[in-house]
Amino acid sequence: MLRKKTFKINYGYVFITPFIIGFLLFGLYPVYHTLALSFTNTTMLTGKDDFVGLQNFIRLFSDNTFITAITNTWQLWLMNFIPQLGIAILMAVWFTNVRLRIKAVGVWRMLFYMPNLLMPAAIAALFFSLFSYYGPVNQVLVRTGIIPEAIDYIRNPTAMRSLVVFIQWWMWFGQTTIILMAAMSSISLSLYEAAVIDGARDWQMFRYVTLPLIKPVMAYILVTSLVGGMQMFDIPYLLTDGRGSPANSILTNMIMMYMRFRSNEGHIGAAAAIGVMVFIMTTIVALLINYLLRDKDAKVPAKEVRR
């Protein structure tokens, strides 16, 4: 009996080739090029491109402004992400709870997600107009007698930090809520029924059933929010004069990188060094998050396997 010859045609490689080419050109190469530029004194308006080693990084850490930018970036991200995650978990639990039976859940999800569809430039322009010296907020507060005179929010460090934190929370908590709702809805009801039979209360079911099963989704939310927080640029930049004013209260890493890029000669090397530092910080913290939220029960000890 003759064996039939089998021909293996790997169509899969053909289909993924456009993605690989796009990733190499627009994903991997920019990272490599930025890393290479951070070790040079390359500028926009001159022909300088000499290798300077770690000189750009040494100048960065000796600059108090860079330390301020790092501190501000982490503070602004944490101050908006912690309440964002807490409120999103609470709303996701409410909307997926069978006992509460909240009506028009789809409408609520649409309303919460809607700010995420708006352009950051439009949102910054809106809040700048609302909180300007002669804006509607001051007019209402002064006319109602809540405050004696108008407040210059744009030049108030505390007010600007609070405003940036609120905008970032307002824009993203709806998306976080929807992702958590999808994760909670995928949990089998039989697990909750078994917990009820065992006498578990609502908090115990959330603590021992819901949280462990949505841990991978929580890791995804943490990492993606971290990446977005470290790249915070548009809202702080557009709300002020583009320098993180007042008193550098909302100066972020990305704003400082842009300031280095648009300096006298357009120092690309110094701007690239800031980008590399942001990449290193984000990578380390992302790996730490994945390590802390990993599934510890996934690996079975070798002794148990032998048994």
Average pLDDT over residues 233-254: 80
Q: What is the pLDDT of residue 199?
A: 85
Backbone dihedral angles phi then psi of residue 250, each to the nearest 5 degrees: -125, 25
Q: Is residue 65 part of a domain?
A: no
- Check whether 89 has a pLDDT greater than 60: yes
Mean residue pLDDT of the chain comes to 85
pLDDT at 100: 75
Q: Taking 50 as the threshold, does the pLDDT of residue 19 lie above it? A: yes
End-to-end CA gap in the chain = 45
User: What pLDDT score was predicted for residue 304?
Assistant: 43
Of residues 238 and 10, more confidence is placed in 238
pLDDT digits (tens, 9 = 90+) for 170-217: 999 999 999 999 999 888 888 888 888 888 888 888 888 888 899 989
**Within-domain flag for 245:** yes
Of the two residues 212 and 47, the one the predictor is more confident about is 212
Share of the chain above pLDDT 70, in %: 90
Residue 45: the pLDDT is 75
Does residue 202 fall inside a structural domain?
Answer: yes
Phi first, then psi: give them for residue 3, nearest 5 degrees.
Answer: -80, 135
Contact assessment for residue 157 and residue 249, using Cβ atoms and an 8 Å cutoff: yes
Task: Name the more confident of 281 and 46.
Answer: 281
Least confident range of 59-68, 85-94, 152-161, 297-306: 297-306
pLDDT of residue 277: 92
Residue 219 confidence (pLDDT) above 60: yes
**Residue 147 CB-half CA count within 13 A:** 10
- Yes or no: say if 152 and 133 are a contact pair by the CB < 8 Å rule: yes
- Does residue 145 lie in a domain region? no
For residue 40, is it within any domain?
no
104 is a domain residue: yes
Confidence of residue 79 (pLDDT cuts 50, 70, 90): very high
CATH of the domain at 221: 1.10.3720.10
Q: 283 near 261, Cβ under 8 Å?
A: no
* Helix ranges (DSSP H) in 62-210: 64-96, 105-117, 120-130, 136-143, 157-185, 189-197, 202-205
What CA–CA distance (Å, rounded) separates 255 from 263?
A: 12
CA-CA distance, 52 to 42, in Å (whole number)?
A: 10
Q: Is residue 46 part of a domain?
A: no
Domain that holds residue 213: 70-116+156-265
* Segment 222-249 mean pLDDT: 83
Binned at pLDDT 50, 70 and 90, residue 5 comes out as low
Does the pLDDT value for residue 241 go beyond 80?
A: no
pLDDT value for 178 = 92
Three-state DSSP state, 51: strand
pLDDT band (50, 70, 90) for residue 8: low
For the stretch 248-296, pLDDT in tens is 888 899 988 888 887 766 788 888 999 999 999 999 999 998 888 877 6
For range 143-151, the mean pLDDT: 88
- Total domains in the chain come to 1
What is the average pLDDT across 143-149? 88
Domain membership of residue 32 (yes or no) is: no
